[in-house]
């Protein structure tokens, strides 16, 4: 069997091997291979892995479900000699202007990547820095609670999907760009369109990547190239505007340093970027990462969690009892209260298991040749780690399709990259650097929603009517297809309005 170029094969394997770059694997990984997947064993049978196969179709963008070959899981192996780097799609080249200042998530391993990673981990998303943004998160959550409180008097449904996107956008815009979402010039609709376009670009494959010399003509004729350019220009204008704003003498100082302040300080001091000078293009690349990685992932997680709880009122009640008992009449849940909320933390874990926002993590590209299940995998093969399928693998999870936060009672399994059966943030040196920021934001938002309100379904709707379909597309993230509308009723034990 020979299977080349645009054909895709899905390979799953169980692994408990180590390599220099990849620690021991103890889970089944399903990966999609692009380009030149070739087997020596020409009579290899298609896989007998029906549950996974149908799962993939449910999640599927067109090219995903069209996967022509499914193969049976093989030996325990993560290839020892195959380190991986990042695949930089053509769209990323356009977004980052020929990769002069690459989007970090798509940067191959090397000096540039190492320096950018160091800045992210030590300067931008360190525990101390994330703590310094605490007041922003709490203020924004308070505003959301006040907004919902106003609607709760009329007992009409609120669109939680829209509200939670606005919440995470407001937090990330203030932390990163030093401006509120409202003042950024984006309206809700346009903002979602841009995020969706950029993600679709990064998740898509352009003809230029597969057809040498002439592929770019196809991209121009299909309008893909123009779409990339348009989106790039819009984002570039926005990033230039916020950077210029920070450089302007008239800017009013805020009491915290936002991400642009930190990056500009590194430029001024010429530190933190090895021998090379950090350029404005590099700064824009970091901002793009934060824009893409920070906003919709957190909102998507909160929306799925609330949808799962609305489907199972008993679990919702248990979570509410925990937070209300623990907070009492304090009048608000602050970040320092979150550590006591064990059940809430299990809900968040379970949501990450069933609904990892970045279902396929980010694409990687193999550096060296290796073999899986008799299949030769050549250098420069694109690999997707399917965190979504791993989280639903019956080999590792009991009743994997059910939302059961209690499965984490007395379990040490966590989502920080050490347990390969739960990988919403990836693992290893590429693990999401925003993990602490993300979990803090999600836990705080959910705890407050559960503390302040009882949630009911709109009139005439039953639990089983809640639509749990995923938005299928080529976007990097998988969101709930239909907006979540619930009716809030202010909890009678908490009367005060937040100041």
Site string for ligand HEM, 150-189 (x = CB under 6 A): ----------------------x-----------------
Q: How far is the CB of 298 from ligand HEM (least distance, A)?
A: 5
Binding of residue 117 to ligand HEM (CB under 6 A): yes
How far apart CA 121 and CA 432 sit, in angstroms, is: 10
Q: Where are the beta strands (DSSP E) in 131-198?
A: 158-159
CB 56 within 8 A of CB 32: no
The strand pairing partners of 84, in sequence order, are: 366
Strands 375-377 and 28-34: unpaired
The strand pairing partners of 34, in sequence order, are: 8, 382
| Sole binder of ligand HEM in the list 88, 95, 323, 362 (CB under 6 A) | 362
Nearer to ligand HEM, 194 or 438 (CB): 438
The per-residue b/e assignment along 438-467, b for 16 or more CB within 10 angstroms, e otherwise, is: bbbbbbbbbbbbbbbbbbebeeeeeeeebe
Q: How far is the CB of 416 from ligand HEM (least distance, A)?
A: 11
CA dihedral defined by 93, 94, 100, 102, rounded to 10 degrees?
Answer: -60
H-state helical runs in 133-252: 134-152, 160-172, 188-203, 207-210, 215-222, 224-247
CB 89 within 8 A of CB 202: yes
Binding of residue 137 to ligand HEM (CB under 6 A): no
| Sole binder of ligand HEM in the list 1, 431, 457, 468 (CB under 6 A) | 431
Q: How far is the CB of 378 from ligand HEM (least distance, A)?
A: 21
How far apart CA 324 and CA 337 sit, in angstroms, is: 11
Nearer to ligand HEM, 171 or 310 (CB): 171
| Sole binder of ligand HEM in the list 84, 297, 382, 386 (CB under 6 A) | 297
Binding span for ligand HEM by CB under 6 A among 77-85, 137-145, 287-295, 325-333? 287-295
The strand pairing partners of 158, in sequence order, are: 486
| Number of residue whose CB is nearest ligand HEM | 426
Nearer to ligand HEM, 291 or 370 (CB): 291
Query: Is 432 marked as binding a ligand?
Result: yes
Site string for ligand HEM, 60-99 (x = CB under 6 A): ----------------------------------------
Binding of residue 105 to ligand HEM (CB under 6 A): yes
CB 363 within 8 A of CB 89: yes
Site string for ligand HEM, 397-426 (x = CB under 6 A): ---------------------------xxx
Q: How far is the CB of 161 from ligand HEM (least distance, A)?
A: 15
Q: How far is the CB of 461 from ligand HEM (least distance, A)?
A: 27
Helix 224-247, helix 188-203: angle, nearest 10? 120
| Sole binder of ligand HEM in the list 158, 315, 390, 432 (CB under 6 A) | 432
How far apart CA 366 and CA 87 sit, in angstroms, is: 9
Q: Where are the beta strands (DSSP E) in 137-206?
A: 158-159
Binding span for ligand HEM by CB under 6 A among 23-31, 35-43, 296-304, 341-349? 296-304
| Sole binder of ligand HEM in the list 157, 203, 298, 488 (CB under 6 A) | 298
Nearer to ligand HEM, 86 or 375 (CB): 86
Tokens matching residue 39: 């087997």
Integer-rounded Cα radius of gyration of the chain? 23
| Sole binder of ligand HEM in the list 158, 167, 358, 484 (CB under 6 A) | 358
Tokens matching residue 54: 């149908």
Nearer to ligand HEM, 15 or 433 (CB): 433
| Sole binder of ligand HEM in the list 85, 161, 282, 289 (CB under 6 A) | 289
**Nearest alpha-carbon partner for 285 in 176, 436, 426, 440:** 176
**Nearest alpha-carbon partner for 10 in 27, 31, 34, 35:** 31
**Nearest alpha-carbon partner for 240 in 183, 177, 172:** 177
Count residues binding ligand HEM (CB under 6 A).
28
Binding of residue 433 to ligand HEM (CB under 6 A): yes
Tokens matching residue 143: 């505003």
How far apart CA 129 and CA 65 sit, in angstroms, is: 42
Nearer to ligand HEM, 171 or 487 (CB): 171
Binding of residue 437 to ligand HEM (CB under 6 A): yes
Tokens 């196969």 belong to 53
Nearer to ligand HEM, 69 or 288 (CB): 288
Binding span for ligand HEM by CB under 6 A among 139-147, 227-235, 400-408, 437-445? 437-445
Tokens matching residue 459: 């009139």
Which residues of the chain form contacts with ligand HEM (CB under 6 A)? 104-105, 117, 120, 172, 289-290, 293-294, 297-298, 301, 357-358, 361-362, 424-427, 430-434, 437-438, 442
Which residues belong to the annotated binding site for heme? 432
């Amino acid at each position: 069997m020979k299977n080349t170029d645009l054909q895709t094969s899905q390979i799953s394997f169980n692994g408990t091997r180590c390599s220099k770059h990849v620690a021991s694997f103890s889970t089944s990984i399903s990966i999609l291979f692009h380009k030149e997947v070739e087997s020596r064993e020409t009579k290899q049978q298609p896989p007998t892995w029906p549950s996974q196969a149908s799962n993939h179709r449910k999640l599927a963008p067109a090219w995903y479900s069209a996967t022509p070959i499914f193969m049976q899981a093989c030996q325990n192996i993560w290839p020892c000699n195959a380190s991986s780097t990042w695949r930089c799609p053509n769209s990323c080249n356009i977004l980052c202007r020929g990769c002069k200042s690459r989007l970090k998530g798509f940067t191959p391993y090397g000096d540039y990547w190492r320096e950018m990673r160091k800045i992210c981990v030590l300067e931008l998303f360190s525990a101390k820095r994330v703590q310094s943004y605490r007041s922003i998160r709490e203020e924004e959550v308070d505003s959301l609670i006040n907004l919902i409180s106003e609607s709760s008097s009329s007992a009409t449904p609120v669109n939680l999907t829209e509200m939670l996107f606005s919440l995470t956008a407001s937090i990330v815009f203030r932390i990163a760009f030093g401006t509120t979402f409202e003042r950024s010039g984006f309206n809700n609709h346009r903002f979602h369109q841009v995020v969706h376009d950029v993600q679709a670009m990064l998740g898509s494959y352009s003809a230029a990547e597969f057809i040498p010399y002439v592929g770019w003509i196809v991209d121009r004729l299909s309008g893909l190239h123009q779409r990339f350019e348009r989106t790039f220009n819009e984002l570039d204008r926005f990033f230039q505007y916020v950077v210029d704003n920070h450089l302007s003498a008239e800017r009013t100082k805020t009491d915290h340093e936002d991400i642009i302040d930190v990056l500009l300080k590194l430029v001024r001091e010429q530190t933190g970027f090895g021998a090379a000078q950090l350029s404005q293009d590099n700064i824009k690349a970091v901002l793009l990462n934060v824009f893409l990685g920070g906003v919709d992932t957190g909102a998507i997680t909160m929306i799925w969690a609330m949808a799962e709880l609305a489907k199972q009122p008993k679990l919702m009640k248990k979570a509410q009892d925990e937070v209300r008992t623990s907070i009492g009449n304090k009048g608000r849940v602050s970040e320092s209260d979150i550590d006591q909320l064990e059940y809430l933390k299990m809900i968040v874990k379970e949501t990450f298991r069933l609904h990892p926002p970045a279902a396929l993590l980010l694409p990687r590209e193999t550096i060296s040749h290796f073999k899986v299940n008799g299949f030769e995998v050549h250098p420069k093969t694109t690999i997707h780690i399917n965190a979504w399928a791993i989280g639903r693998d019956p080999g590792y999870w009991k009743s994997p399709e059910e939302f059961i936060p209690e499965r984490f009672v007395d379990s040490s399994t966590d989502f920080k990259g050490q347990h390969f059966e739960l990988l919403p943030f990836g693992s290893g040196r590429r693990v999401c650097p925003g993990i602490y920021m993300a979990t803090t934001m999600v836990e705080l938002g959910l705890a407050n929603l559960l503390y302040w309100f009882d949630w009911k379904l709109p009139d005439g709707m039953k639990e089983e009517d809640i639509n749990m379909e995923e938005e299928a597309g080529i976007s990097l993230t998988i969101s709930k297809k239909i907006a979540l509308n619930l009716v809030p009723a202010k909890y009678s034990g908490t009367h005060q309005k937040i100041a």
